[in-house]
Amino acid sequence: MNARIASVRRDTLETKIKVKINLDGTGVFICNTGIGFLDHMLEQVARHGQIDMDIEVDGDRHIDDHHSVEDLGITLGQAFDKAVGDKKGMVRYGHSYVPLDEALSRVVVDFSGRPGLFKDVEFTRAAIGGLDTQSLWEFFYGFVNHAKITLHIDNLKGVNAHHQAETIFKAFGRALRMALSADERMAGQMPSTKGVL
């Protein structure tokens, strides 16, 4: 597969976002969203996905975090869609179960070209580190719609909301890593009987 690197900039009246990624990196993470808990979660994706990420977000946080989180999901999704290229030779599907103490989450991803987010998660708190847990879904909706992936997220167990979220993001990173991996037996081939994704 060719180098899978992308840079995307998104400027609106609400946010200014710059994202650079390398899907075949080592987990190098540079990020300043202004939202500490979100930075912590994105670092899990970079480290466990072995994806280099350089992210800058300047958003209208004097209103709240919503636009920054949603627009980052959109921008990061666009970068993934650009970096993944024609998808030839990649595994395409990925899944992971990740525990953290009492919490356990399962994430399954398909680089299908068909956006869809399906979730079964009940956070035990409405906010974590000042970030509204509903905003996490805005991040994932933005991501799947612009990366054009199908994503299933299930929190199977959990009492501590921080643990719930962290297992989700770690599992997301590991599922991405699996799906983005090169499949030697499929080298140069499209991982679909349709011939296109």
Express each pLDDT in 101-152 by its tens digit.
Answer: 999 999 999 999 999 999 999 999 999 999 999 999 999 999 999 999 999 9
* Cα distance between the two ends of the chain: 16
| pLDDT tens-place string over residues 161-183 | 999 999 999 999 999 999 999 99
Q: For residues 197 and 151, what is the distance between their CA atoms, to the nearest angstrom?
A: 15
With cut-offs at 50, 70 and 90, classify the pLDDT of residue 1. confident
Kindly report, residue by residue over 6-47, the tens digit of the pLDDT: 999 999 999 999 999 999 999 999 999 999 999 999 999 999
Assign 73 to helix, strand or coil. Answer: helix
